[in-house]
Amino acid sequence: MIQTPPGRAFTLPRKAVLLAAAVFVTLILVPAFCHQGYALRLMGMIFMGIALASCWNIMSGYTGYIDFGPAAYFGIGAYATALLMVRGGVPFFLSIVLGGVVAVAFAVPVGLPTLRLRGAYFAIATFAFAEATRQAVLEWDRVLGVNFFQGSHGITLPIGPTHQFFYYTFLVIMTVLFVITYLVERSRMGYALKAIHEAEDAAELIGVNTLKIKIYAYAISAFFTAVIGGVDAYWLTYITPNDVFSVHITIKMVIMCLLGGMGTLLGPVVGASFLTLISEPLWARFPYDYLIIIGVIIVLVIVAMPKGIVGTLLEWKVDSRGT
Amino acid sequence: MGPEQNIILEGRGVSRYFGALAALSGIDFSLYEGEILGLIGPNGSGKTTLFNVIVGVCRPSEGKVFFEGRDISGMSPHRICQMGIAKTSQIVQPFTRMTVAENVLVGAMYGGGLPQKEAWEKTREILAFVNLDKVMNTPSGKISIPERRRLELARALATSAKVILLDENMAGLNPNEIEEALDLLRAIRERGVTLMVVEHIMRAVMGISDRMIVFNYGEKIAEGTPREVAENPSVIRAYLGDKYA
Amino acid sequence: MLIQAIITGLLLGGIYAVYSAGFSLIFGVMGVVNIAHGDLVMLGAFTSYWLFTLGHIDPFLSIPFSALTLFIVGYGIQRLIINRVVEAPPIMSYICTFGIHLIIANLALRLWTADYRSITTSYCGSHLECAGLVIPYARLATFGMAVVMVGGLYLFLNRTDIGRAIRATAQDREMARLMGVRANHVYAMTFGIGAAITGVAGSLISSYFVIYPQMGLSYTVTAFCVVVLGGMGYIPGALLGGLILGVLESLTATYWNAGMSSALTFFILFLMLIFMPAGITGKGIVE
Ligand SMILES: Nc1ncnc2c1ncn2[C@@H]1O[C@H](COP(=O)(O)OP(=O)(O)OP(=O)(O)O)[C@@H](O)[C@H]1O
Ligand SMILES: [Mg+2]
């Protein structure tokens, strides 16, 4: 947990800002020097991972409410974008934003009842919601006798631009989410989120409208998850319900965040980079044992480093200062 | 009591059932502005339940609660807090991984409705007032029991509450610490806060209360000055009787 | 047709009840939402499958083997892994069991390929016919076993020393420890027993359903639903929840669309959590 000493809440550490800006500028320049499709694609995927992990972090990392259903919003965003572009001829960037809006339109009514649930119940309810949306999109056409989502046949999008395009799109989304997380962490809302995590009833008792704060966090998270889903749909050019509503998307978000450190600014960055970088070569080398190895890594990390990479480092730093 | 007899908080016929159990039955009470009202009763007599009903943690099954003349029954806890009633909990619930100051800050920002900058100022003032300024940057999970009790109070004060309900805020303190806690309560009253105090430590609550109410099995069995209450036969029978008769 | 659908549903629900009881036990005692639960069903099913295919042992006779195998697996998982995160925030145990799910499901995939398999016993076609209703013997026997297993688990928890130790630990870990209960061992026993009964369900399932290494997750999801219906952590609730879900699914499949029955499962699950988190019995654990 990053502590903000009183009085310094509004001043950013100068060095950190400079460093972040330098990284950002470097990342903008990379495609100018590196024309390798593979490298840009890999970087793009890392950015997407960081963005997704940040979405989950804003909601679950800070509040401790384990959302096991973000795949619902990823899928909603993917389908909204696909349908808008294919059926409505809506331009890409407008489509992804509209996809985010659709996701919020789901997140608020879904969040209102579910965010009153605690612990495992919230986790299971959100999971059920995600699976229900997947099933609904899968079965919709058959049950209603229409031709809308095209069930398991999926939807083909217009052929997307180059990897470089997605590199920049995800770089922007990732940066926006990073800045939002930074601002939220220092804002009133950030304190309320952490308070909810620690002792929700006590937070409510000292004036925090906990449900409202949770809904905000949930809606922000849903909006961006859907935007990312929309971009990814365009990148993939072909989507089916089983791909974009997959529980594996949820799990990836959770694990990246957990690996890096939940409720920390840098956790998603570290976790997503780590997971993407190790899983790509693993997947290439051991396509059949890949998931087994990932399973082993998950278990080992949880048992050995329950606070995640960033959390463990922070703790180290605190301990070595002799607190 | 002095001349000001403004009722700030009032309950009329408040009942609360848990299944067949009547944790509170038909409680009437009035809290006068500026006073310290002691609430005593044996274990399980409904003291905590009354507090929970007042601050909106649970709804009254029957009856109503009025704050400054407005019906607040059924409102959510954060609304009631923002209106001006805060409660400290029997079981302290600090936000353990946040610093002591941040704990108080949340109260000042949300309960007190202050912007962050003003909230920090208020936080510093209150931490100095309850004598927690030395540990303000310590994670609240790492402070001592008496400090935690004071932190509960500090969070309540930070919300700019007009009424603070204290549920066994002195439990687990030694005699010296109790004296300090009592001084602090008097100082809080000096700030113009009205207090309602649940306490098992009889000497403490008798000493500090202007008036007292006694509960037994969810019913109010006596009301009056500490002396009147102490001499009331039904109180001795029902309450003290358990332990001393 | 209605009665036939209900009977089919009840027979199916019996199976749901068995492995959901295991899930409920593990959640009730340790607060662990075991995402790898369906994989334990799969392991039980494959134990019976191999004993049948290689050793010609009838799936009903191989029940003790799969129970024992799964007990060992469950005990080991808890002892080696989950005991280390049981005190940590619950998310840790969820993710941990998800990791275990990945390991088990994909190891099975590597060992046994993705093929769909089934057991063909001599009696698998025979059934009881009365008043126009068709009741396969195997399913009837399965249902009987299921009821016996859930009842047995309930009695075990209430009547035996280890059962009482488990319940004591579930209620108050610290207190139980002070009274000389070794929590780590009790937890491992709990997981072992929960896994064993789930392994039995797997054997029963192998006697008339297709089985394949990736079947686990959908069984886990059904267990969520059953357990939430009956009340999380309340063992007899699993029987009630299992039967209700079985009948509902069977009715949906008969009168509407088989594809809708799993959508319905989630829908019920979602609504139950929101409106009746303690389950139909009202006896589930709600924090
Ligand atoms: N949420 C609840 N559900 C069911 N019963 C409850 C609940 N809260 C309190 N009770 C019951 O209501 C009665 C009154 O409890 P309460 O906590 O108000 O007593 P108390 O006077 O504060 O006792 P103590 O001095 O021990 O703190 C008790 O019998 C208690 O068991
Ligand atoms: Mg009490």
DSSP labels, C214-272? GGHHHHHHHHHHHHHHH-TT-HHHHHHHHHHHHHHHHHHHHHT-TTHHHHHHHHHHHHH
Instruction: Say if C119 falls within a structural domain.
Output: no
C275 C-alpha to ligand 2 centroid (Å): 29
Ligand 1 contacts CB of residue B44 (under 6 A)? yes
Ligand 1 contacts CB of residue B45 (under 6 A)? yes
pLDDT tens digits, C159-173:
988 888 888 888 777
Q: Label the pairing between strands C127-130 and B85-88.
A: unpaired
In whole angstroms, give the CA distance from residue C105 to residue A127: 20
Instruction: Say if A230 falls within a structural domain.
Output: yes
Contacts of C205 (CB under 8 A, 6+ apart): C15, C41, C44, C45, C211
Q: Looking at residue A2, what is its pLDDT?
A: 39
Ligand 1 contacts CB of residue B47 (under 6 A)? yes
Interface test with B, best of A205, A211, A213, A214 (most B CBs within 10 A): A205
**Whether A206 and B105 lie within 8 Å, measured CB to CB:** no
* CATH number of domain containing B10: 3.40.50.300
- Chain A residues whose beta carbon lies within 8 Å of the beta carbon of residue B117: 10
- B88 forms bridges with which residues in the sheet? B166
pLDDT tens digits, B47-97:
999 999 999 999 999 999 999 999 999 899 999 999 999 999 988 899 998
Contacts of C207 (CB under 8 A, 6+ apart): C48, C59, C60, C119, C121, C124, C138, C142
Domain boundary among B138, B159, B180: B159
Give the pair of three-digit tokens for residue B167: 């549920």
Domain that holds residue A97: 14-322
Contacts of B151 (CB under 8 A, 6+ apart): B92, B94, B100, B103, B104, B130, B132, B140, B143
Instruction: Say if A1 falls within a structural domain.
Output: no
CB A270 within 8 A of CB A309: yes
Q: Label the pairing between strands B62-67 and B7-18.
A: antiparallel
Q: How far is A154 from chain B (nearest CA, A)?
A: 46
Instruction: Say if A188 falls within a structural domain.
Output: yes
Count of domains forming chain C: 1
In whole angstroms, give the CA distance from residue A35 to residue A163: 10
**Whether A10 and B77 lie within 8 Å, measured CB to CB:** no
Count of domains forming chain A: 1
Nearest to A82 by CA among A226, A222, A252: A226
Mean pLDDT per 10-residue section of chain B, whose length is 245 residues: 75 93 94 95 93 95 95 94 94 91 96 94 96 93 92 96 94 90 94 94 90 93 90 77 52
Interface of A with C in 68-87 (CB under 8 A): 68
| B neighbour chains, 3+ CB pairs within 8 Å | A
Instruction: Say if A8 falls within a structural domain.
Output: no
Count of domains forming chain B: 2
Which residue has a Cα nearest atom 1 of ligand 1?
B18
Q: Looking at residue A319, what is its pLDDT?
A: 64
- Chain B residues whose beta carbon lies within 8 Å of the beta carbon of residue A264: none
Torsion angle, alpha carbons of C52, C58, C61, C65, to 10: 10
In whole angstroms, give the CA distance from residue B237 to residue B235: 5
Domain that holds residue C188: 2-114+135-275
| A neighbour chains, 3+ CB pairs within 8 Å | B, C
Q: Are residues B20 and B141 in the same domain?
A: no
Instruction: Say if C218 falls within a structural domain.
Output: yes
B to C contact (≥3 Cβ pairs closer than 8 Å): no
- B139 forms bridges with which residues in the sheet? B99
Strand ranges (DSSP E) for chain B? 7-18, 21-32, 36-40, 62-67, 70-71, 85-88, 163-167, 194-198, 211-216, 219-224
* CATH number of domain containing A247: 1.10.3470
Domain that holds residue B233: 1-84+162-245
Q: Looking at residue A320, what is its pLDDT?
A: 63
Q: Between vectors from CA C262 to CA C259 and to CA C263, what angle results, nearest 5°?
A: 85
Interface test with A, best of C94, C100, C249, C264 (most A CBs within 10 A): C94
* CATH number of domain containing C101: 1.10.3470
Closest residue in C to A126 (Cα) is C270
Ligand 1 contacts CB of residue B38 (under 6 A)? no
Give the pair of three-digit tokens for residue C20: 């959901």
Q: Report which DSSP code applies to B168.
A: S
Per-residue pLDDT of chain C (287 residues; tens, 9 = 90+): 788 889 889 998 999 999 999 999 999 888 889 999 999 999 999 999 999 999 999 988 999 999 999 999 999 999 999 988 888 888 888 889 989 999 999 999 999 998 999 888 877 777 777 777 788 888 888 889 888 989 999 999 889 888 888 888 887 777 777 777 778 888 999 999 999 999 999 999 998 889 999 999 889 988 988 998 988 888 889 999 999 999 988 888 888 777 677 777 778 887 888 888 788 877 777 65
Q: Looking at residue B29, what is its pLDDT?
A: 95
Instruction: Say if C9 falls within a structural domain.
Output: yes
Instruction: Say if A249 falls within a structural domain.
Output: yes
Name the burial class of residue B61, with classes exposed (0-12), middle (13-18) and buried (19+) by CB atoms within 10 angstroms of its CB.
middle
Which residue has a Cα nearest atom 25 of ligand 1?
B43
Determine the atom of ligand 1 nearest the C-alpha atom of B24: 14
- How far, in whole angstroms, is CA A35 from its chain's centroid? 28
CB C141 within 8 A of CB C60: yes
Average pLDDT, chain B: 91
Q: Are residues B115 and B189 in the same domain?
A: no
Q: Looking at residue B212, what is its pLDDT?
A: 95
In whole angstroms, give the CA distance from residue C233 to residue C228: 9
- Judged by a CB distance cut-off of 8 A, whether residue A305 touches chain C is no
- Chain A residues whose beta carbon lies within 8 Å of the beta carbon of residue C85: 302-303, 306
At A111, which amino acid appears? G
**Whether A194 and B55 lie within 8 Å, measured CB to CB:** no
Mean pLDDT per 10-residue section of chain A, whose length is 323 residues: 41 74 84 80 94 95 92 97 94 96 96 88 88 87 82 85 91 95 91 94 95 96 98 94 91 88 89 90 86 89 80 72 48
Number of H helices, E strands in chain C: 11, 2
Q: Which of A128, A142, A297 sits opposite C270 (nearest CB)?
A: A128
Q: Are residues B75 and B172 in the same domain?
A: yes
In whole angstroms, give the CA distance from residue A247 to residue C216: 13
Q: Are residues B53 and B116 in the same domain?
A: no
Give the pair of three-digit tokens for residue A268: 């998603």
Q: Are residues B18 and B75 in the same domain?
A: yes
The answer to whether ipTM exceeds 0.95 is no
Give the pair of three-digit tokens for residue B230: 């102490």
Domain boundary among B127, B159, B191: B159
**Whether C270 and A132 lie within 8 Å, measured CB to CB:** yes
Q: Looking at residue A323, what is its pLDDT?
A: 42
Contacts of B214 (CB under 8 A, 6+ apart): B39, B40, B41, B220, B221, B222, B223, B229, B232, B235, B238, B239
Q: Are residues B80 and B188 in the same domain?
A: yes
Given its phi and psi angles, is residue B19 left (phi above 0), alpha (psi -120 to 50 degrees) or beta? left
- B14, B15, B18: which to mutate for ligand 1, most atoms within 8 A of CB? B18
CB A226 within 8 A of CB A276: no
Torsion angle, alpha carbons of C229, C233, C237, C243, to 10: 60
If residue A155 lies in a helix (H) or strand (E), which one and from where to where?
Answer: strand A155-156
Q: Looking at residue C236, what is its pLDDT?
A: 87
**Whether A128 and C90 lie within 8 Å, measured CB to CB:** no
Instruction: Say if A294 falls within a structural domain.
Output: yes
